[in-house]
Chain A
Amino acid sequence: EAGVTQFPSHSVIEKGQTVTLRCDPISGHDNLYWYRRVMGKEIKFLLHFVKESKQDESGMPNNRFLAERTGGTYSTLKVQPAELEDSGVYFCASSQVPGQGASLSYNSPLHFGNGTRLTVT
């Protein structure tokens, strides 16, 4: 089974430019998440999709960040215009939605991708 894949693995852009990160979740995983780790700090939640719908985007830092998941398959995260503080590693993760009969409190483990290292200069 292919894991979560992210593209590109690295991106170096100048302040003010636009960058689009892509995530392909594991096939069949309806849950898709974006997380970010700024250098030396904790990994922070950005947002959560269930299929094509945004379930929770409380972690998005500001309106320069736009996430989409058209068709409920892959997702993109666009940063426009990029600022220096946007530098970090952006992780995508996916998980299955619990099936019928599963406990409502069941939390599937997340499967993470390798991340995209974004450097804004």
Chain B
Amino acid sequence: AQKVTQAQTEISVVEKEDVTLDCVYETRDTTYYLFWYKQPPSGELVFLIRRNSFDEQNEISGRYSWNFQKSTSSFNFTITASQVVDSAVYFCALSGRGTASKLTFGTGTRLQVTL
């Protein structure tokens, strides 16, 4: 069975602070995919990143960066110099090989960025 744990239910930071959202996963698959989605107040789920299990390189996209560590089964997401527009619920998700994007989601972390 697959499981994704996002232990942080809600995080509040002041603008320009850095913040890390934790994601820990469990799977028996040797090939799998990890995702992060953002849900802004408007409600849609916005795709942020997909990572293959055989590629442990960290990735940076602007103020966003992701740290994938198979040894600890973690796929953490860091926002540098946070902005008010980053306020949203962030979901980490996992899918196995050949499951055609059937995703197992975590419960989400609500990030509130204030001035």
Contacts and interface: CB of A to CB of B under 8 A. Distances in A.
Interface string B21-51: 0000000000101010100001111110010
Contact of B31 (A3, A44, A105, A117): A105
B70 interface: no
A45 B103 contact: yes
Nearest to B105: A43
B100 A109 contact: no
B67 interface: no
B21 to A, nearest CB: 15
Interface string A43-60: 111001010000110000
B47 A110 contact: yes
Chain A's interface size range is 20 to 34
Contacts of B103: 35, 43, 45, 110
Interface of chain B, helix or strand or loop or mixed? Answer: loop
A98 to B, nearest CB: 9
A40 B45 CA distance: 16
Nearest to B52: A105
B101 A95 contact: yes
Interface of A: 3, 9, 31, 33, 35, 40-45, 48, 50, 55-56, 89, 91, 93, 95, 104-105, 107-115, 117
7 contacts: A42-B104, A50-B100, A107-B99, A108-B101, A109-B35, A110-B47, A110-B101
Contacts of A109: 35, 47, 50, 101
Contact of A42 (B44, B46, B100, B105): B105
Contact of A115 (B33, B43, B46): B43
A53 to B, nearest CB: 12
A42 B6 CA distance: 10
Contacts of B99: 107
Contact of A48 (B50, B97, B102): B102
A40 B105 CA distance: 12
A46 to B, nearest CB: 10
